Structure 1
Amino acid sequence: MKFVRVFLKVLLGLVVFILLFLAVSLAPVDETPYQQMPYYTHTKERLAQLPAIPAATTPLRAGWAKASITPPYATPTGGYGARRGKQWHIIADSIFARAIVLDNGGTKAALIGLDLLITPPTVVEALKKRLPEVGLRWENIYTGAIHSHNSIGGWAPGIVGQLIAGGYDEKLVVRITDGIINAIRVAQQNMAPVQVGFGQVDASDHIYNRIGFSGPTGPLDGMVHLLKLKKATGESALLCTFSGHATLYEDDMWNYLSRDYPGSLVDRLEKKSADFAVFMAGAVGSTGPQARGKTDFQEIRNYAGDLALRIERTVPQIQTTTDSTLGILTLPLGLREPHPRVIGNWRVRPWLFYAVYGDYPSDLKALRIGQTVLLGTPCDYSGEFVADFKPLAAQKGVNLMITSFDGGYIGYVTPDKYYNRTTYETRDMNWFGPYNGAYFEEMMMGLLKKM
């Protein structure tokens, strides 16, 4: 009997502990409309206070360079799924930081493309300290990533960081940051006047909507967007954005360090279409690649090869013109409390989220180069939103490129009407609650108008 009493007391204590833990760890989803929230008011005020783009005082000049950030030792793999930070041991292709630096006398900006899963928040914080070494600040920087799930990990502390990118290694943060700084420095040394041009080609047949199984969905952004810079010498750089997830390697291929299809594509473009190329993931949220091939390596060659053929036919048709317009804006982004849902309509409280993930500032970015505007987001941003921006871009007479992973990371942003669907993108990876779709659109359109 004594044993039973002890057992019941222990069981009761355990139940009480679990109930207390749940009480302090969980809360119901807050469905207050975002327009009524303080974070919205503060972000809208910051948007209104952003300055106008300074006028050019010189012709637009640009320079470009890349720096290898491939580690000399095996590291965790930066990806999701079954990888779980397992270490790669085979280098399928090298990893780079790429930079295009632009200057028109009134504005200086650097566009940074990283062969990583995302732009790591830890790297952003390091850059904020080190950019003055090359005469820049974070407000001068527009970043993006290829979103390969087989690239370098180890750049994110915390439990969630461990799941996404493996064990944290400060040396990798330093290595990535060094690469960015070095690429900027070299790019600044080869700057010259450039002409600017824009083109695009349809590749909708290469993508599908991953949440389509859960019900009706809208059209995705299936265009490959191209921004061309050309020096008087004929030397050219090409920025390419596309909304296909770089996930052609299956989970069990974690042993390879690779840029996935964007790496193969960039290598091909630098042989036939431009002297220098940068790829950035576009609005990739919930967008999967349509793979064709018997092996992952075949799929990558076929995917990149077909995209390259379409781009190679398009690039000669891009007319470059002299245009010194250049501007960059950074909008610090307020957010609703963290809302990762765990049981029904219950979500973890902020203290627990920040304990396992961390609390990183996030921004929206806008970069105008000539008649093209880039809008950068700190998330996997859904391609279904892109159509909503086209009327405003047409009204303003500009071309539009929307990219993901501009520094900081807040999970997925998908259309609000899908919020209660039980999919990975809309539930597991929606970290900051309802109405983010409308909120992001409003702030991004505000940036577009400012440009």
Structure 2
Amino acid sequence: MTFLRILFKILAGLVVVILIFLAFALAPVDDTPYQEMPYYAQTKQRLAQLTTSPAARHGLLAGWSKVNITPSHTTPTGGYGERLGKHWKTLSDSIFARAIMLDNGGTKVAIVALDLVITPPTVTEALKKRLPEVGLRWENVYMGAIHSHNSMGGWAPRLVGQLIAGGYDEEIVKQITDGVLAAIRKAQMKMEPVQIAFGETDASDMISNRLSSSGPTGTLDGKIRLLEFRKRSGESALLCSFAGHPTLFDGDNSAYLSRDYPGSLVDRLEKKSADFALFLAGAVGSTAPVSRGKTDFQEIRNYAGDLAVRIERTVPAMKTQPDSTLSILTLPLGLREPNPRVVGNWRVRPWLFYALYGDYPSDLKALRIGQTVLLGTPCDFSGELAAELNPIAAQKGLNLMVTSFDGGYIGYITPDRYYDRQAYEVRDMNWFGPYNGDYFKEMMTGLLDKID
């Protein structure tokens, strides 16, 4: 009987400890409308205070370059899911940092694309300290990633980061950062006068809406968008964006280091359509690729090939012309407290979320090049929300390219009407609570008004 009493006391004590922990760790979801929250007023004020870039002093100059950042040794695979940071064993594709440098005498901008699943927040923080080495600040840089789920990991500390990208290695952060800076330096050395052209073609049949399994959904943004820079010599660079989620490598196929279809696409474009190509993942939130092939490798080759054929038909019709318009805006983004839900409508408290993931600042970016505006988001941004922004830009006579992964990472941003659905995108990956779809749309529309 004495043993049973002791066991009962131990179990009762454990229950009390668990209840105390839950009381400190969990709280109800905060569903206060975003317009009533302090972060909204703060971000609106920051938006109002943004100033446009100085006027051009000469025609647009551009240079471009890429730097191989493939590690010399095996690393964790960065890409969620079944990979869970498993080390890749076979090099399928080399990994690059690519940069296009632009200058009109009043403004300098570097467009950077990483062959990674996201732009690691740790790399962003390192760049903010080191960009003066190449004569730039964070406000001069437009970042993005290809979003391959089979690329290099090891760049994220803490538990959540290691579930995404495997065990943390500070040397990997330095290697990526060094590669970005080297690509910018090399691009700066190749700058010459350029003319620009915009083009787009439809590939809506190549994506589907993953949220459709949880109920009705809206229209996705399925356009391939292209921005061409052409030097007097005829040398050209092609910036390409599309919303197909690069998940053609299955999660159980983590033995390969791969750029997925964006890598195959860029390689083909550099053989047939341009001397240099750079891919930025578009509004990939909630999209799935519609692929064909019996193996992952066949799917990648076929998917990239189908996109390339459409691009190759579009590029010859794109007529370049001189335009010195160049402007970039960086909007520091206020957010609701973290609201990742764990049980019902109960969420993890902020202290625990930050302990597990970290507290990284996030921005919205707007980059105008001629009559084209790129809007960069720190998330997997919904293809449905991007489709709703397109007519707003069109009314202003602007071409719009919405991209994801601009330097921070805050999970998925999806339409507010889906918030209560039981789906991965709006449940597991919605980290900052309700109403962010409308909040992002409002701030991105404000950036379009500012940069117009």
TM score, norm. by length of structure 2: 0.99
User: How far apart in 1 are the matches of 2:89 and 2:171?
Assistant: 18
- Three-state SS of the structure 2 residue aligned to 1:227 is strand
CA offsets 1:408-440 (integer angstroms, 9 cap, x no match)? 100000000000001000000000000000000
Q: CA deviation at 1:70?
A: 0.2
User: How far apart in 1 are the matches of 2:156 and 2:285?
Assistant: 21
Structure 1, unaligned runs of 5 or more: none
CA RMSD, Structure 1 to Structure 2 (Å): 0.5
User: How far apart in 2 are the matches of 1:288 and 1:144?
Assistant: 19
Moved over 6 A (4+): none
- Identity among equivalent positions (%) equals 73
User: Which residue in 2 is equivalent to 1:386?
Assistant: 386
1:54 aligns with 2:54: yes
Q: CA deviation at 1:53?
A: 2.6
User: How far apart in 1 are the matches of 2:107 and 2:439?
Assistant: 28
Superposition map of 1:286-301 within 5 A: 286-301=286-301
User: Which residue in 1 is equivalent to 2:125?
Assistant: 125
User: Which residue in 1 is equivalent to 2:185?
Assistant: 185
User: Which residue in 1 is equivalent to 2:416?
Assistant: 416
Q: Contact between 2:52 and 2:329, CA under 8 Å: does it hold in 1?
A: no
Counterpart of 1:118, as a letter, is: I
Q: CA deviation at 1:27?
A: 0.3
CA offsets 1:40-60 (integer angstroms, 9 cap, x no match)? 000000000000232101110
Counterpart of 1:75, as a letter, is: T
CA offsets 1:249-307 (integer angstroms, 9 cap, x no match)? 00111000010000000000000000000001000000010120000000000000010
Counterpart of 2:214, as a letter, is: S
Q: CA deviation at 1:390?
A: 2.2
- Three-state SS of the structure 2 residue aligned to 1:252 is coil
User: Which residue in 1 is equivalent to 2:305?
Assistant: 305
Counterpart of 1:425, as a letter, is: E
User: Which residue in 1 is equivalent to 2:161?
Assistant: 161
Superposition map of 1:334-413 within 5 A: 334-413=334-413
Q: CA deviation at 1:391?
A: 2.5
Q: Contact between 2:52 and 2:328, CA under 8 Å: does it hold in 1?
A: no
- Three-state SS of the structure 2 residue aligned to 1:240 is strand
- Three-state SS of the structure 1 residue aligned to 2:427 is helix
Counterpart of 2:109, as a letter, is: A
User: How far apart in 2 are the matches of 1:392 and 1:87?
Assistant: 44
Q: CA deviation at 1:387?
A: 2.3
Q: CA deviation at 1:83?
A: 0.2
User: How far apart in 1 are the matches of 2:332 and 2:402?
Assistant: 17
User: How far apart in 1 are the matches of 2:322 and 2:313?
Assistant: 23
User: How far apart in 1 are the matches of 2:124 and 2:434?
Assistant: 27
User: Which residue in 2 is equivalent to 1:32?
Assistant: 32
1:139 aligns with 2:139: yes
User: How far apart in 2 are the matches of 1:135 and 1:445?
Assistant: 30
1:449 aligns with 2:418: no
User: How far apart in 1 are the matches of 2:50 and 2:63?
Assistant: 27
CA offsets 1:371-427 (integer angstroms, 9 cap, x no match)? 100000000000001222122212211100000000110000000000000100000
Counterpart of 2:294, as a letter, is: K
- Three-state SS of the structure 2 residue aligned to 1:253 is coil
Superposition map of 1:162-241 within 5 A: 162-241=162-241
Counterpart of 1:333, as a letter, is: L
Counterpart of 1:204, as a letter, is: S
User: How far apart in 2 are the matches of 1:347 and 1:390?
Assistant: 34
Q: Contact between 2:201 and 2:225, CA under 8 Å: does it hold in 1?
A: yes
User: How far apart in 1 are the matches of 2:390 and 2:114?
Assistant: 27
User: How far apart in 1 are the matches of 2:52 and 2:400?
Assistant: 19
Counterpart of 1:249, as a letter, is: F
User: Which residue in 2 is equivalent to 1:91?
Assistant: 91
User: How far apart in 2 are the matches of 1:203 and 1:302?
Assistant: 14
Superposition map of 1:7-26 within 5 A: 7-26=7-26
User: How far apart in 1 are the matches of 2:107 and 2:128?
Assistant: 18
User: Which residue in 1 is equivalent to 2:434?
Assistant: 434
User: Which residue in 2 is equivalent to 1:82?
Assistant: 82
User: How far apart in 1 are the matches of 2:370 and 2:121?
Assistant: 29
User: How far apart in 2 are the matches of 1:223 and 1:397?
Assistant: 17
User: Which residue in 2 is equivalent to 1:243?
Assistant: 243
- Three-state SS of the structure 2 residue aligned to 1:424 is coil
- Three-state SS of the structure 1 residue aligned to 2:425 is helix
Q: CA deviation at 1:89?
A: 1.1
Structure 2, unaligned runs of 5 or more: none
User: How far apart in 1 are the matches of 2:204 and 2:396?
Assistant: 25
Counterpart of 1:227, as a letter, is: L
- Three-state SS of the structure 1 residue aligned to 2:430 is coil
- Three-state SS of the structure 2 residue aligned to 1:241 is strand
User: How far apart in 1 are the matches of 2:53 and 2:142?
Assistant: 15
CA offsets 1:318-356 (integer angstroms, 9 cap, x no match)? 011100000001000000000000000000000000000
User: How far apart in 2 are the matches of 1:274 and 1:59?
Assistant: 22
Counterpart of 1:279, as a letter, is: F
User: How far apart in 2 are the matches of 1:367 and 1:198?
Assistant: 14
The more displaced of 50-59 and 154-163 is 50-59
User: How far apart in 2 are the matches of 1:158 and 1:44?
Assistant: 32
Superposition map of 1:294-333 within 5 A: 294-333=294-333
